[in-house]
């Protein structure tokens, strides 16, 4: 977007996996849910050798998100690999292997960016004591590459060493990191077995339905684990926001009862969804709020007895109570009765701080218009919606006015694609963030099919010389 003009670009990111698949004219590198076909260009000995070389047998396609690291933009996935892209023409420039620099074997595709430019991300490392979750810090580096100064600033043990938890994101407040260890794990034995037979990663996931969710609170200043909370099992992909308030951490998450919705994303399953009465139920996630008390009962007997609610905050109905095992159990409140996914906020102003609004795509696939864009007012418990028949928006991105007078003083951007036979059409939608009314749209006809956007980032034109 520049001087009232809008342009649209779409380009394949030329990862090593993409190049191999392109040369072989088939999928020869196993993806998250796709089994590879043997590469006809490889001998049987070369195929066997590739099993023991991570760079050759694991996909490096960074197809999930894009974030600024310093003044450059990188595409991310959940393997420890990033690709730098040209923000002007989307050309693939450079591959960065975080694993080689820091020893991490995975990292989140949703890092957090502090107001001073420091970037934090969650990953996993292998130590002499087994796998551990870790937080990586990327300080601003005016004199060179932002990755040169990267360090691991926190580590905590994995609950099940052979079944580390799958986590798509993490939380960060002013003073704490929040890691939510759901009982959806990656089976290490199954993953090693899968490497031998090109089994996709999705077949390595294990859901422990009778195990609790653990919520870890880590001190940001010293990297030490301060609190562990327990919650009933749930599945999640995205945290909405988190912040500190009156000696509590308020944690808002888009949650599901179980991870059944992951397998709903198979193409064959989606083709049959109109005939499957359980399909919509599997997608029935809801936004919920936990309140995590930070005060310690030790030396303060009035803090709470077993099964007594510790939460005295006026603005939430969430519960927290001591169990017989000495852990604090937390019970969330539902923020609103509508499915929410890819939630976003006024990120630059309200990450890790109290907030009122979030924006999302409804995950209720049985709505009249699936893919409805929603604005949720947490304080008034109300929503605003925008939708259009046969239209599927991308993650809504909030862009503030230059001198905002309120949290929602700005616009929300989303890219639109259409179903059925409108696969060569794409548009930029602009909504007023306050009223949730459409105030602008720019549509394009493309020479080829338009892929649906997943996550995005708004790059300020004046600051980043791109938008």
DSSP notation for 146-158: GGGG-EEEEEEE-
> Which is more confident, 12 or 295?
12
User: SS3 for 66?
Assistant: strand
pLDDT in tens, 60-82: 999 999 999 988 999 999 989 99
Q: Could you state, in order of their start, the residue ranges of all structural domains in the chain?
A: 342-460
Would you say residue 221 has pLDDT above 90?
Answer: yes
Please, where are the H alpha helices in 321-460?
347-350
The predicted structure's pLDDT at residue 49: 46
Residues 6+ apart with CB under 8 A from 102: 80, 123, 125, 136, 150, 151, 152
Please, where are the H alpha helices in 266-344?
267-271, 279-282
Residues 6+ apart with CB under 8 A from 366: 280
Distance CA 60, CA 234 (A): 29
Distance CA 395, CA 417 (A): 12
Query: Is the separation of the CB atoms in 462 and 402 below 8 Å?
Result: no
The torsion angles phi and psi of 463, rounded to 5 degrees, stand at: -80, -45
Q: Across residues 89-101, what is the average pLDDT?
A: 93
- What is the distance of C-alpha 149 from the center of its chain? 24
> Which is more confident, 202 or 157?
157
Would you say residue 464 has pLDDT above 70?
Answer: no
Distance CA 460, CA 413 (A): 13
Name the token pair of 12: 């394949």
Task: Please give the full DSSP string across 356-404, using - where no structure is assigned.
Answer: SEEEEE---TTSSSTT-EEEEETTTTEEEEE--TTEEE---EEEE-SS-
Residue 136, strand partner residues: 121, 152
Residue 424 in marked binding region: no
Would you say residue 300 has pLDDT above 60?
Answer: no
Q: Across residues 345-373, what is the average pLDDT?
A: 94
What is the residue-averaged pLDDT of the chain?
Answer: 89
Residue 455 in marked binding region: yes
Query: Is the separation of the CB atoms in 146 and 137 below 8 Å?
Result: no
The predicted structure's pLDDT at residue 47: 47
Cα torsion 240, 245, 247, 251 to 10°: value is -10
- What is the distance of C-alpha 459 from the center of its chain? 19
CA pseudo-torsion sign 253, 256, 262, 265: negative
Q: Across residues 195-223, what is the average pLDDT?
A: 90
Q: Across residues 394-415, what is the average pLDDT?
A: 97
Would you say residue 307 has pLDDT above 80?
Answer: no
Band of residue 420 on the pLDDT scale cut at 50, 70, 90: confident
Task: Measure CA of the first residue to CA of the last residue in the chain; give whole Å.
Answer: 6
Query: Is the separation of the CB atoms in 120 and 111 below 8 Å?
Result: yes
Name the token pair of 19: 């190049």
Instruction: Choose among 107, 47, 42, 112: nearest CA to 81.
Output: 107
The predicted structure's pLDDT at residue 465: 42
Distance CA 411, CA 420 (A): 29
Query: Is the separation of the CB atoms in 139 and 162 below 8 Å?
Result: no
What pTM, to 2 d.p., does this model score? 0.91
Distance CA 356, CA 96 (A): 37
Would you say residue 3 has pLDDT above 90?
Answer: no
């Amino acid at each position: 977007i520049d001087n009232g003009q809008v342009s649209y670009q779409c380009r394949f990111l030329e990862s090593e996996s993409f190049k191999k698949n392109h040369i072989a004219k088939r999928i020869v590198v196993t993806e998250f849910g796709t089994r590879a076909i043997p590469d006809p260009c490889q001998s049987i000995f070369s195929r066997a050798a590739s099993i023991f070389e991570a760079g050759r047998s694991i996909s490096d396609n960074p197809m999930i998100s894009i974030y600024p690291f310093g003044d450059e933009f990188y595409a991310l996935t959940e393997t420890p690999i990033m690709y730098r892209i040209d923000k002007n023409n989307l050309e693939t420039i450079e591959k960065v292997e975080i694993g080689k620099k820091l020893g991490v074997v995975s990292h989140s595709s949703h890092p957090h960016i502090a107001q001073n430019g420091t970037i934090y991300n969650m990953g996993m490392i292998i130590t002499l004591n087994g796998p551990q979750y870790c937080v990586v810090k990327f300080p601003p580096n005016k004199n060179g590459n932002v990755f040169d100064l990267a360090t691991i600033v926190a580590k905590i043990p994995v609950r099940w060493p052979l079944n580390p938890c799958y986590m798509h994101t993490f939380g960060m407040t002013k003073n704490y990191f929040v890691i939510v260890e759901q009982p959806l794990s990656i089976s290490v034995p199954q993953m090693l077995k899968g490497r031998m037979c090109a089994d996709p990663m999705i077949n390595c996931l294990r859901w422990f339905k009778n195990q609790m969710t653990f919520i870890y609170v880590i001190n940001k200043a010293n990297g030490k684990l301060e609190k562990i909370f327990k919650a009933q099992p749930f599945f999640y992909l995205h945290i909405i926001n988190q912040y500190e308030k009156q000696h509590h951490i308020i944690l808002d998450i888009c949650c599901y009862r179980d991870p059944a919705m992951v397998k709903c994303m198979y193409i064959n399953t989606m083709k049959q969804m109109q005939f499957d009465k359980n399909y919509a139920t599997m997608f029935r996630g809801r936004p919920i709020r936990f309140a995590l008390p930070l005060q310690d009962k030790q030396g303060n007997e009035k803090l709470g007895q077993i099964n007594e609610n510790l939460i005295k905050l006026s603005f939430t109905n969430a519960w927290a109570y001591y169990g017989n095992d000495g852990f604090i159990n937390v019970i969330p409140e539902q923020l609103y009765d509508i499915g929410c996914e890819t939630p976003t906020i006024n990120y630059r102003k309200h990450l890790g701080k109290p907030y009122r609004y979030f924006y999302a795509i409804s995950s209720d696939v049985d709505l009249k218009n699936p893919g409805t864009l929603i604005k949720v007012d947490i304080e008034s418990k109300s929503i605003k919606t925008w939708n259009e028949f046969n239209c599927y928006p991308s993650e809504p991105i909030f862009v503030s006015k230059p001198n905002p007078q309120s949290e929602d003083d700005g616009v929300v951007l989303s890219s639109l694609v259409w179903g059925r036979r409108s696969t060569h059409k794409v548009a930029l939608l602009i909504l007023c963030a306050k009223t949730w009314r459409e105030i602008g749209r720019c549509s394009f006809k493309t020479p080829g099919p338009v892929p649906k956007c997943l996550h995005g980032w708004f790059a300020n034109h004046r600051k980043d010389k791109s938008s």
